[in-house]
Amino acid sequence: MSATEFDAEGYAKAVAAALGLPLDSAHLPGVVMNLRLAARMATVVQSLPVGPADEAAPVFVAGRTAP
């Protein structure tokens, strides 16, 4: 594993311990798979150029008229 590679298993175990969540060893492979998938998706999103015109979408508030 390179220094920049995401350690999904280590992350899952550390976060579960920090939050006091039980992490059954039978569930660990699925958790690791999903964390690796999320990391790959984040890499794609972070690689996109963002400019001043790329503002976040407005927040929906029920009952409020759109601006």
* SS3 category, 7: coil
Integer Cα distance of 20 and 23 in angstroms: 9
The answer to whether 32 and 12 are in contact (CB under 8 A) is yes
- pLDDT, position 53: 83
Token pair 């999103």 in the structure block, residue: 45
Ranking 8-12, 19-23, 57-61 by mean pLDDT, the lowest is 57-61
Degrees (nearest 5) of the Cα angle 21, 3, 14? 10
The answer to whether 8 and 32 are in contact (CB under 8 A) is yes
Is the pTM higher than 0.75?
Answer: no
Q: Would you say residue 2 has pLDDT above 60?
A: no
- pLDDT, position 63: 85
pLDDT in tens, 23-47: 999 999 999 999 999 999 999 999 9
